[in-house]
């Protein structure tokens, strides 16, 4: 990560420049932009490793992981989309590609034909097991090793607080 020591006056747009809006101080604005940059870089690195070693995108890995967590139970497409922060249309396209590769199976519910269930195939489970080591090594290399033990609790607490505000409301 680059050192961000430039004067706050060089931040554009400035934190207090929009009349009638809530303001954010320059230090928090800088933390936000660093957070976005770090997230983007981490996701690119993790996906690069998965693609190179296993031909998987990070989104495909996430689907396989969520389905593996469900065990033998089929997962509703709508629940999967919500868990992965996907639109149902975006997830449908992803699931189409994964089904074509034999990683997952999907079926409609006999009780309600509008409900689509997704399950992990044996090929999908094997692919996930092979890719998990690559993914976990990447998490340690690109994230874990840069988070000192003394900062772990504070960073974890902060991230959990952000996750709990999922609706964009106040903490």
Q: pLDDT averaged over the chain?
A: 87
For 29-55, write each residue's pLDDT tens digit.
999 999 999 999 999 999 999 999 999
Going by C-alpha positions, the residue among 30, 44, 60 that lies closest to residue 132 is 60
What are the tens digits of pLDDT across the range 118-159? Answer: 999 999 999 999 999 999 999 999 999 999 999 999 999 999
- Residue identified by tokens 């420049």 is 17
What's the whole-model pTM score? 0.80
CA end-to-end distance (rounded Å), the chain: 28
Q: What are phi and psi of 76, to 5 degrees?
A: -70, 140
Q: How many CB atoms lie within 10 A of CB 54?
A: 18
Q: Mind listing the domains of the chain with CATH numbers?
A: 56-143 (1.10.10.10)
Q: How many CB atoms lie within 10 A of CB 105?
A: 16
Residue 167 pLDDT greater than 90, yes or no: no
CA angle 148/151/155 to nearest 5° reads 120
Residue 87's alpha-carbon distances to 81, 91, 162, in angstroms, are: 6, 6, 21
Tokens of 50: 């998965």
Tell me what pLDDT residue 52 has: 98
């Amino acid at each position: 990560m680059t050192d961000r020591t430039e004067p706050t006056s060089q931040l554009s747009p400035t934190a207090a420049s929009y009349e009638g809006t809530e303001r954010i101080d320059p230090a928090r604005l800088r933390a936000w932009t660093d957070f976005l940059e770090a997230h983007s870089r981490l996701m690119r690195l993790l996906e690069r490793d998965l693609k190179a070693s296993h031909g998987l995108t990070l989104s495909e890995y996430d689907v396989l992981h969520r389905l593996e967590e469900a065990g033998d139970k089929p997962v509703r497409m709508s629940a999967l989309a919500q868990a992965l922060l996907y639109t149902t249309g975006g997830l449908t396209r992803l699931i189409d590609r994964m089904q074509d590769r034999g990683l997952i199976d999907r079926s409609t519910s006999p009780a309600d034909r509008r409900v689509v269930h997704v399950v992990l195939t044996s090929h999908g489970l094997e692919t996930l097991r092979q890719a998990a080591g690559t993914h976990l090594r990447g998490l340690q290399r690109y994230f874990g090793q840069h988070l000192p033990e003394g900062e772990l609790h504070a960073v974890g607490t902060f991230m959990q607080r952000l996750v709990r505000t999922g609706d964009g409301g106040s903490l």
